[in-house]
């Protein structure tokens, strides 16, 4: 009697069990064919069923958010759109179904990581040269999705790395054309849009099958070592701009008022000039009219001028002296002329 361990028993019984399973399956298949009346044609029918199942295995469905990439013996041969399609069954052809509507994010300018010696490993990764020869650190996020699944899977080896390298190159090129002040203030969106367009052109040139949906510029700042000095410069520029604006406001206030005052004086001078000239012309015309009358009738005109002159003089006189002999004035009734002061005293006496 030989001793055997428990581990040896299962290994010795395994071949007999496998053979019994195959024999049992064959017996059940033959029994089924006999029940169906197909005992004589069992093997051809079985082969036909297997062939039909193999051919039917080539039917596949592409979902609306997918593209079907047909691979024949490891080589990309076709790209199919959503719907039902057919390919040669495995192992001749296989189908890959990547998601083409899923938007992926790629962050450029990751946080600084300190080395063991205290230095920053990626200190220079985010530093970029601006158009006016300054240095800035820029962070952005790139959103992209698959545009052509076949090119995406077989044209580039590492699509995410390709997007990262191309995005860094595009961002550096756009910032290198932009002054630092514009990059930090009013042209941030313009930089993001131009970077997206340039990145898309680079990816299309490489036939990467990737579509860039958006580039978001998150941060553009000077390096940390000089940021305090840069802020001081920016504050000085802000003070300069404020002083310039105040001067412009003062000028805009003073100049219009000065121009208005000058226009008013000029208009008054023009009016005075017109008045004096018109009065002079009127007096000249009046003198010419009198001269023409004098030339026609000297005595009459002289007497008329005498009477008019006396009339003007007597209007201002407060006392009138009349010849008492009555020569030439017999019809004049004498009376005592009172001036204004005398009239006031007479009224007070009453």
Q: Is 322 helix (H, G, I), strand (E, B) or coil?
A: coil
Q: Are 147 and 63 in contact (CB under 8 A)?
A: no
Q: Are 104 and 145 in contact (CB under 8 A)?
A: yes
What CATH number is given for 104-111+125-225 in this structure? 3.30.479.30
Q: Which ranges in the chain belong to alpha helices (H)?
A: 8-35, 42-56, 149-154, 159-175, 180-184, 188-205, 227-296, 298-315, 340-349
Burial tier of 56 (Cβ tally within 10 Å: 0-12, 13-18, 19+): exposed
- Count the neighbouring beta carbons within 10 Å of the beta carbon of residue 221: 14
- Count the neighbouring beta carbons within 10 Å of the beta carbon of residue 54: 12
pLDDT, tens digit only, all 350 positions of the chain = 333 333 443 333 334 454 555 567 566 666 666 665 555 555 676 677 777 777 777 777 778 888 788 888 878 877 888 878 777 788 887 888 888 888 899 988 755 444 444 444 455 567 888 887 778 888 889 999 988 888 888 888 888 899 999 999 999 899 888 888 788 877 888 888 999 999 999 999 988 889 999 998 888 877 777 777 777 877 888 889 899 999 999 999 999 999 999 999 999 999 999 999 999 999 898 888 888 888 888 888 888 888 888 888 777 777 666 666 655 555 555 555 555 555 566 566 65
Up-side HSE of residue 334: CA atoms within 13 Å toward CB?
10
Q: Tell me the CA distances in angstroms from 283 to 272, 275, 277, 278, 301, one per residue in order.
A: 16, 12, 10, 9, 18
Up-side HSE of residue 172: CA atoms within 13 Å toward CB?
14
- Count the neighbouring beta carbons within 10 Å of the beta carbon of residue 214: 13
Q: What is the rounded CA–CA span in Å between residue 217 and residue 137?
A: 11
């Amino acid at each position: 009697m030989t001793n055997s361990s428990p581990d040896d028993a299962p290994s010795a019984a395994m071949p007999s069990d496998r053979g019994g399973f195959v024999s049992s399956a064959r017996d059940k298949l033959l029994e089924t064919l006999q029940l169906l009346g197909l005992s004589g044609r069992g093997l051809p029918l079985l082969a036909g069923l297997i062939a039909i199942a193999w051919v039917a295995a080539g039917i596949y469905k592409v979902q609306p958010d997918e593209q079907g990439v047909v691979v024949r013996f490891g080589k990309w041969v076709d790209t199919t759109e959503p719907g039902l399609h057919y390919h040669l069954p495995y192992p001749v052809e296989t189908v890959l179904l990547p998601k083409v509507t899923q938007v992926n994010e790629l962050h450029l300018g990751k946080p600084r990581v300190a080395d063991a010696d205290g230095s920053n490993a990626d200190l220079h990764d985010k530093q970029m040269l601006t158009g006016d020869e300054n240095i800035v650190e820029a962070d952005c996020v790139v959103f992209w999705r698959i545009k052509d699944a076949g090119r995406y899977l077989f044209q580039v080896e590492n699509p995410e790395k390709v997007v990262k390298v191309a995005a860094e190159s595009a961002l550096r090129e756009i910032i290198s054309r932009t002054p630092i002040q514009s990059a930090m203030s009013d042209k941030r969106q313009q930089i993001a849009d131009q970077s997206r367009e340039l990145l898309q052109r680079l990816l299309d040139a490489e036939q990467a099958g990737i579509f860039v949906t958006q580039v978001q510029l998150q941060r553009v700042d000077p390096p940390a070592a000089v940021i305090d000095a840069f802020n001081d410069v920016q504050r000085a520029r802000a003070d300069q701009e404020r002083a310039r604006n105040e001067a412009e406001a003062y000028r805009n206030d003073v100049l219009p008022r000065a121009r208005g005052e000058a226009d008013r004086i000029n208009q008054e001078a023009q009016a005075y000039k017109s008045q004096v000239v018109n009065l002079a012309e009127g007096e000249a015309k009046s003198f010419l009219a009198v001269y023409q009358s004098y030339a026609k009738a000297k005595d009459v005109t002289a007497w008329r001028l005498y009477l008019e002159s006396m009339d003007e003089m007597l209007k201002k006189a407060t006392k009138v002296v009349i010849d008492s002999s009555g020569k030439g004035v017999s019809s004049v009734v004498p009376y005592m002329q009172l001036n204004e002061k005398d009239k006031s005293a007479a009224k007070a006496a009453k």
